[in-house]
């Protein structure tokens, strides 16, 4: 197959310009303008040039005309008439041609249209000729001929200047392009030369004993993840020496520590719910009014058990995981880590419990910035990994950043505080169903306790062992009869309110109840807490006519099964919903 010759971009540019009818029209008008200016410049005595077009009095073009022996002449009225006749006739042809095309687009008889058009052209030409003759335009034809020859020379010189300027512009363009190309080559060679000098300098220092290979070399991991590599170098913390304590003692001593040491007061049901929540889910939501001690609870837990707690204030602008974990900067060629990521990463080097507190977590939509965490926590612990960075071939990473994935250690819990006011987003069922929710409805009153108030030392592993021991205690677990009784209440919710839930919530209840009992509570209190927070809460927002009557029926059912004033949290929530429906 014959290769087709490729046209030069410059030639293509010029050809495309003159293919355009508009471009051709502009070019003709430009030539007419130059011709008019040339007439004013060649006229020996012209008042218009002397008073209004002074730039034509002396210029480079005029100097070139004098160089070729072309002098100014006295242009008479007849020559101006002929010139204006030519200009007018050219303009008429351009306008008439456009009118002809427009007519032909709407008329089928093109032959008749063309006859009429050319008849008008001939008539106009004859009319112009007669007018020019009557005005004496042809009285001195020899002089007029010399004038127009001079005018043609003038136009050619002007066009020559334009062509020269155009060629100079093209030459400048290619010169700049060549300099840019040479600059790129020079920079590339300088980089190679710099790397060679760097290697030679490194080899010299290592051979002379002034530095070791490890001291001198700045690895890829140190460049991209300096904060995480610094954590790696710090290494594993010493193992925690656990205080011998039981779960029921844990709740009492924590309450006493907060009240007597810090004058912060939490009721035992709330403390038991918090600890049982840690044994049930990796996400705890502390919800309620501002100033009720939500943020202080994880802080007190951290101080009391000797664990770690990091507080990350959520911003309203958070939209995805990069706001939580950070991002890779293409400009700086480093990963901009957040303190959240650094503390999550550091948790792998300690056996202490690690609380990652998202303060005011519903200032932004939780499903946006926390979606990856919500998903991976559904998997087995060995799969609690989140993508942080897309690694490149040959790139080294920090020790605990496996294939660009950060691991959520088993000693880590996420605690979210959430205000219930109009300035925040509603927390959806997707989040609620995965979390244990603790309500802070009002400020706690002072509590007097004489139980010992000493802080303890407790590792995350020891805490998890205590939770597992409670779950495996048959006496603390729900029996088949107790489960069936509770399911009657759940079935009522399904039939009366169409409130349905999956196995996840029942699994959480089965874990929560024995831990809550081991902390000193009762099974009924635990079921009351979970039913109110996980199931009855779904009725919030229903305002149909039947809701009020069905809530009353639910209250009677619970009383018949468990007795009066046993499901206190549930009864309180039923009263709250009923009040809204009045």
Confidence of residue 493 (pLDDT cuts 50, 70, 90): very high
Give the residue among 362, 466, 374, 459 at the shortest CA–CA distance from 414.
374
Q: With 70 as the cut, is the pLDDT of residue 16 above it?
A: no
Q: How far apart are CA 278 and CA 284, in angstroms?
A: 7
Q: How far apart are CA 280 and CA 515, in angstroms?
A: 9
The number of angstroms, rounded, from the C-alpha of 259 to the middle of its chain's C-alpha atoms is: 45
pLDDT tens readout for residues 21-44: 677 777 777 777 777 776 666 666
CATH of domain 224-460: 3.40.50.300
441: which DSSP letter? -
Compare 420 and 241 and report the one with higher pLDDT: 241
Model-wide pTM > 0.75: no
Mean confidence (pLDDT) of the chain: 81
Confidence of residue 78 (pLDDT cuts 50, 70, 90): low
Question: Residue 573's pLDDT is what?
Answer: 92
Q: With 60 as the cut, is the pLDDT of residue 347 above it?
A: yes
Q: With 70 as the cut, is the pLDDT of residue 175 above it?
A: yes
In three-state secondary structure terms, 469 is helix
Q: With 60 as the cut, is the pLDDT of residue 291 above it?
A: yes
Cβ atoms of residues 383 and 376 within 8 Å: yes
Angle value at C-alpha 92, between 89 and 94, nearest 5 degrees:
115
- Average pLDDT (560-567) is 93
Question: Residue 390's pLDDT is what?
Answer: 84
- Average pLDDT (13-21) is 61
Lowest mean pLDDT among 183-187, 235-239, 341-345, 432-436: 183-187
Q: With 70 as the cut, is the pLDDT of residue 57 above it?
A: no
Q: With 90 as the cut, is the pLDDT of residue 299 above it?
A: yes
Lowest mean pLDDT among 126-140, 206-220, 328-342, 499-513: 206-220
pLDDT tens readout for residues 528-539: 999 999 999 999
Question: Residue 445's pLDDT is what?
Answer: 80
Q: With 90 as the cut, is the pLDDT of residue 258 above it?
A: yes
Q: With 90 as the cut, is the pLDDT of residue 172 above it?
A: no
Q: With 80 as the cut, is the pLDDT of residue 210 above it?
A: no
């Amino acid at each position: 197959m014959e290769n087709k010759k490729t046209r030069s971009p410059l030639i293509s540019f010029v050809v495309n310009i003159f293919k355009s009818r508009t471009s051709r029209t502009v070019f003709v008008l430009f030539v007419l303008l130059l011709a008019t200016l040339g007439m004013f410049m060649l006229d020996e005595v012209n008042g218009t040039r002397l008073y209004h077009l002074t730039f034509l009095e002396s210029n480079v073009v005029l100097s070139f005309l004098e160089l070729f022996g072309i002098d100014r002449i006295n242009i008479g009225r007849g020559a101006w008439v002929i010139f204006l006749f030519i200009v007018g006739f050219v303009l008429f042809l351009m306008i008439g041609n456009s009118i002809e095309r427009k007519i032909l687009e709407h008329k089928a008889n093109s032959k008749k249209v063309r006859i009429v058009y050319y008849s008008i052209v001939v008539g106009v030409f004859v009319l112009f000729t007669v007018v020019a003759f009557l005005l004496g335009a042809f009285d001195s034809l020899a002089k007029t001929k010399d004038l127009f020859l001079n005018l043609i020379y003038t136009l050619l010189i002007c066009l020559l200047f334009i062509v020269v300027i155009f060629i100079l512009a093209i030459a400048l363009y290619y010169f700049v392009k060549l300099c840019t190309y040479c600059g790129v080559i020079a920079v590339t060679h300088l980089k190679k030369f710099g790397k060679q000098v760097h290697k030679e300098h490194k080899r010299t220092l290592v051979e002379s004993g002034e530095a070791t290979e490890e001291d001198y070399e700045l690895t890829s991991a140190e460049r991209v993840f300096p904060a995480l590599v610094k954590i790696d170098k710090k290494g594993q913390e010493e193992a925690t020496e656990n205080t011998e304590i039981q779960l029921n003692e844990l709740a009492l001593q924590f309450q006493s520590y907060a009240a007597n040491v810090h004058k912060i007061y939490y009721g035992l049901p709330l403390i038991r719910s918090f600890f049982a929540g840690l044994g049930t889910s990796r996400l705890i939501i502390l919800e309620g009014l501002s100033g009720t001690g939500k943020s202080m609870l994880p802080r007190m837990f951290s101080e009391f058990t000797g664990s770690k707690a990091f507080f990350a204030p959520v911003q309203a602008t958070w939209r995805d995981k990069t706001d939580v974990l950070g991002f890779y900067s293409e400009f700086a060629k480093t990963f901009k880590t957040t303190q959240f990521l650094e503390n999550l990463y550091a948790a792998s080097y300690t056996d202490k419990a690690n609380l990652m507190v998202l303060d005011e977590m519903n200032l932004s939509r939780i499903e946006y910035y926390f979606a990856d965490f919500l998903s991976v926590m559904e998997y087995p612990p060995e799969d609690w990994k989140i993508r942080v960075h897309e690694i490149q071939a040959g790139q080294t990473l920090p020790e605990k950043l496996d294939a660009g994935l950060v691991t959520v250690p088993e000693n880590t819990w996420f605690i979210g505080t959430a205000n219930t006011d109009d300035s925040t987003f509603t927390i959806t069922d997707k989040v609620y169903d995965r979390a244990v929710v603790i309500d802070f409805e009002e400020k706690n009153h002072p509590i007097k306790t004489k139980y010992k108030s000493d802080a303890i030392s407790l590792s995350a592993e020891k805490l998890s062992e205590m939770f597992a021991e409670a779950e495996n205690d048959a006496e603390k677990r729900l029996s088949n009869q107790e489960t069936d009784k509770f399911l009657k209440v759940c079935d009522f919710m399904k039939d009366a309110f169409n409130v349905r839930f999956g196995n996840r919530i029942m699994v959480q209840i089965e874990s929560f109840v024995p831990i809550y009992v081991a902390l000193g509570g009762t099974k009924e209190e635990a079921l009351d807490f979970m039913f109110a927070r996980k199931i009855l809460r779904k009725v919030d927002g229903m305002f149909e006519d039947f809701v009020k009557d069905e809530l009353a029926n639910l209250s009677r059912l619970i009383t018949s099964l468990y007795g009066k004033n046993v499901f206190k949290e549930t009864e309180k929530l039923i009263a709250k919903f009923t009040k809204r429906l009045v």
